[in-house]
A and B are shown apart, each in its own frame.
Chain A
Amino acid sequence: MQPLSRLVFPALRLLVGVALTFFGLLLVTFLIGRVVPIDPVLAAAGDRVTAEVYERVRTELGLDLPLWQQFLRYVGQVLTGDFGRSILTSNPVLVDIARFFPATLELATIAMLFGLFFGIPLGVAAATHQGRWPDHLVRVLGLLGYSVPVFWLGLVGLLVFYARLGWVAGPGRLDVAYDDLFDPVTGIVLLDAAMAGEWEAFRNALEHLVLPAAVLGWFSLAYLSRMTRSFMIEQLRQEYVTTARVKGLSEARVVWRHALGNIAVPLVTVAALTYASLLEGSVLTETVFAWPGLGRYITNSLLSADMNAVLGGTIVVGAVFIGLNLVSDLLYRALDPRARGR
């Protein structure tokens, strides 16, 4: 009896928490949708409608109901995937999002890999060389990462690496020449090109991807290296590290196997949270690089006051955010025996 309840209760609490958070997100987007100075009836039916049509559309949209009933209706619609129709593209918002989301996913994932690949070794080096140049390098990278506006870094990157040096391809995901070479099966260009065997297109896609991913990944690099450094310093002070050294293990083995093994759990949870912020951070990066992802979809809709699309996009990003928070929490529980049953 005891072990079961120990397993079930925390899981239940977690689920209730996630449900409440999602409910809160919907409440906020609902309220935002209500304070918009745009008349939703006119937005749906067009500017020149007769009073009769106006009333009918108003009833259809449920705007004559009391506010709490409107909210329940709204929750029901969102849960069944109905975010309304985008005015800009005249598609259902969910269809649009499904089309734009893979591009964002691709960008954020490569940026994340970039951050992990460089950030963790840098953080380890900083911890093992405290007060010397790797440590200073990580501090400077971190400080710059938190101080540089990502959209500006993107512009300067385009100026230097695309226009002046010609090392990378320009804005967009592919050159026009490669546009219809293969079918968008997954919507992730690198995967699609590889599956179609179009290696030249793959190479081109990579050239387009590397700069925005590096600009965006810079922030995950800054954060991950800082966190790795502080986790690592904490571990290197522990007695088991001394024991391992006394045993005669090589320093590399002590650091990379013993100490890193112990910080893997907090690092994974930090990485999951970083991933969430990368998805969000891609809004500005996508605008600069004309990257046809969710962020650009949201900002484009914003500028044309297309509220269904904006709020739909917000809900999807918010849901992914909440989901990643949950994943990070679950991973922590699953991987760290000390956190179980708490």
Chain B
Amino acid sequence: MARFVAKHLLFLLLTLLVVSFLVFTLNEFSPGAVARKVLGAYATQEQVDLLTTQMGLDRPLLVRYVDYVRAVLSGDLGQSARFKAPVRDVIARHLANTAFLAAIAFACIVPLSMILGVMAGMREGSRLDRVILILSTVVASIPEFALGVFLASVFVVWLGWLPGTATLVAGGGWSVAAQLVLPVAVIVLFDAGYVVSMIRASMVEVMQRPYIRTAVLKGLSFRRVILKHALRNAMLTPITVIMLQINYLVAGVVVVETVFAYPGFGRMMLEATLFKDIALVEAGALVAVFLAVVTNILGDLAYVLLDPRIRA
């Protein structure tokens, strides 16, 4: 167990180092450009050169990178040019909003896709299986922004039941809860389609194992075979997939946040990259990768804990 954790932590560190270096190099590839961006198009070349020297941007890349890592390690992530606030506060605020949205969506996705996936996979080729398979394929095929537009045109434009934006500020006669319905629905539909097909595939495979046949021939009821025998093994492979969805829910929901003007982490990153807010982009990328690798590790850990055969 200790070896497992140590190995993964090492990989986490390596990944963070590589990613931070790549993003750093990418953003500061042309040192003059940073000063030019700050001063604008009408500054003279001398002014640009002066600021470049003042900011220390004429020093070698590696030296600046080491300085940057040192600053990050001491908790100083810099100042956001876009939001005019410390990067740490900006990220914390947006990440909290996204975590709120993600938690609600996750709480819907897991039970929904487990029920549908198991129901489809327990009798492969049955009519129910075909319907669930085709439906989940179709739903997972529609891009999130299209799902958002489709749902909004029905519930916002046509029926007028829900608001079209989720700014988290109650206003225009809509509560925050009503604002959250559509974003959560889009995320759940798009993501559950994929998770359902993974759980279904795993269930189909488990149902073909000899021990299931034994259980059936022993005279156990089908319900008991599914709940007591098949379910545990069928959830082994998808548990990693389910954990990976956390990663998607935090960093991948840029589109949903943009559609519904939700003040979350993904939209913050989009604004930061478009605005070339370098400090925010760098820190945001690190946070995203950190979350991605950690959920990966948690997925592996859950797998090990569920399957006694690997737990050495």
Please indicate whether A and B come from the same complex rather than being unrelated chains: no
